[in-house]
Amino acid sequence: MDASPQRRDVLVKDLHGDYQFLLMPMDRVSGIESPLPYRPGAPNYFAAAWQARDCTEQALGQPLPRNVASLSLNSPQGRSQHQLHIHIDCLRADVLQALDAQAAALGPQWRPLAHPLRGHVYQARTLQGEQLRANPLNLLAQELAGNDVGQWSLVVAGREDVQGQPGFVLLATRVDAATGNEASGEELQDRACAVLTGAGQALERMR
């Protein structure tokens, strides 16, 4: 466990899988639905989680490419505990391939991906920059989800644009009982990090 009192967050190794870490606020914050992360001056938990991805890299024992590193925050329906926690891990190989295939359609405005990820509809938008200067939660709430943010899950993955400049892709999915979508963006991550380790199959999340 690694705590940062200045940022009021703590980094914890997840017990399932070798490479996943969880970033959690020290303060009581229930999750994506809580109003606290959206208040002016609130910590940018996604930015802190992105900076902490070197823990996953150290666990892997090899470089973690930008486009493989990812962060996920599940909806209340798609999570197992009621304290905000951001999963830091590798993208699944099939998700990485799907994003590469749809890269030309990605832009700075939210729009649905032409092809589902893991069988679920995801909205996507890009964000420029080496670091997460903007708060992805605010972009989700202000541009897409509105007051319905508690029905959504948010994933942030590193990307590079066509000019090779660093940035991110934000992926959001909404709870849909009709299709069995619990809005658990963690489904896009692989706890075995097969894309780098050569593991025979992805390691799914546990509930």
How many domains, the chain? 1
Query: What does the pLDDT read at residue 129?
Result: 97
Asked if residue 163 belongs to a domain, the reply is yes
Query: What does the pLDDT read at residue 167?
Result: 98
Asked if residue 206 belongs to a domain, the reply is no
We report the CATH number of the domain holding residue 178 as 3.30.428.30
- Parts of the chain with a pLDDT under 70: 1-7, 206-207
Residue 65, CA atoms < 13 Å, CB-side half-sphere: 11
Q: CA–CA separation, 48 vs 137, rounded Å?
A: 13
Asked if residue 146 belongs to a domain, the reply is yes
Asked if residue 102 belongs to a domain, the reply is yes
Asked if residue 152 belongs to a domain, the reply is yes
Query: What does the pLDDT read at residue 17?
Result: 81
Dihedral of CA 168/145/43/189: which sign?
Answer: negative
| Domain carrying residue 93 | 2-197
Asked if residue 202 belongs to a domain, the reply is no
Query: What does the pLDDT read at residue 8?
Result: 82
CA nearest to 95, candidates 175, 176, 204, 9:
204
Query: What does the pLDDT read at residue 23?
Result: 97
Query: What does the pLDDT read at residue 6?
Result: 59
Q: CA–CA separation, 73 vs 33, rounded Å?
A: 11
Asked if residue 133 belongs to a domain, the reply is yes
Kindly compute the dihedral angle of the four CA atoms of residues 110, 114, 119, 122, in this order, to the nearest 10 degrees: 0
Asked if residue 72 belongs to a domain, the reply is yes
